[in-house]
A and B are shown apart, each in its own frame.
Chain A
């Protein structure tokens, strides 16, 4: 069966460091992979999307990589700030259609 894995343990890092979050998947061939940010008690907010034929995408301090051979995406936040503390979700889309499947999310804590 299809499976998406994100580290369920919280990631704690110091302000100014680079945070790296992992999204692994099995039995899946996504055409697109998306990353969302979710703050406590609020709905997820879209951050970045990367296509299967793209290896890397950047937006300000955010960088996403997509390795379809390893079946893995990495989400990086450079020069992290306490305001970056949140839960980050990856979501896989087989064909930009309707069934987006979400991972369980990884909570990031950036300490000042």
Chain B
């Protein structure tokens, strides 16, 4: 089954404690991205990656890091989480190239609370 898998689904942590949210896709998609979703602000892109070893900032990259060492994986790293990073996070992937139409496939989400 084609899917994007995020882990963990729920996470409660404290300010300053480094954490990683993993994301994996099994569709051989080139493009992967991370979004955060907050009430009244909608989905905002944090980082994206067009392919292995190629990453770039989205609209709200401050406080986050990503890496793309393998095509299927795109982890989101919070080196020193702060309460304003409490949010619902989504990983997404899409195929690239002619005819792909940039349709995004989303993971189930990770609800993060930073105390």
| Chain A interfacial positions (CB closer than 8 Å to B) | 8, 32, 34, 36, 41-46, 49, 89, 91, 93, 96-105
Contacts and interface: CB of A to CB of B under 8 A. Distances in A.
A47 B82 CA distance: 35
Contacts of B92: 43
**Interface residue tally of chain B, by bracket?**
20 to 34
Contact of A102 (B42, B48, B105, B108): B42
B31, B43, B100, B107 interface centre (most CB from chain A within 10 Å): B43
B106 A45 contact: yes
B42 A100 contact: no
Nearest to A104: B42
A42 B108 contact: yes
Contacts of B43: 44, 89, 102
Given A34-B103, A46-B103, A104 B41 contact: yes
Contact of A32 (B31, B50, B58, B102): B102
A32 B103 CA distance: 10
12 contacts: A32-B102, A34-B102, A34-B104, A43-B92, A43-B107, A46-B103, A89-B42, A96-B102, A98-B48, A98-B50, A102-B42, A103-B42
A48 B24 CA distance: 24
A7 B90 CA distance: 22
Interface of B: 4, 31, 33, 35, 40-45, 48, 50, 58, 90, 92, 96, 100-109
Nearest to B38: A104
Interface secondary structure of A, over-half rule = loop
A47 to B, nearest CB: 10
A51 to B, nearest CB: 9
B41 A43 contact: no
B40 A104 contact: yes
Contacts of B45: 99-101
A100 B108 contact: no
B31 A43 contact: no
Contact of B102 (A36, A89, A98, A102): A98
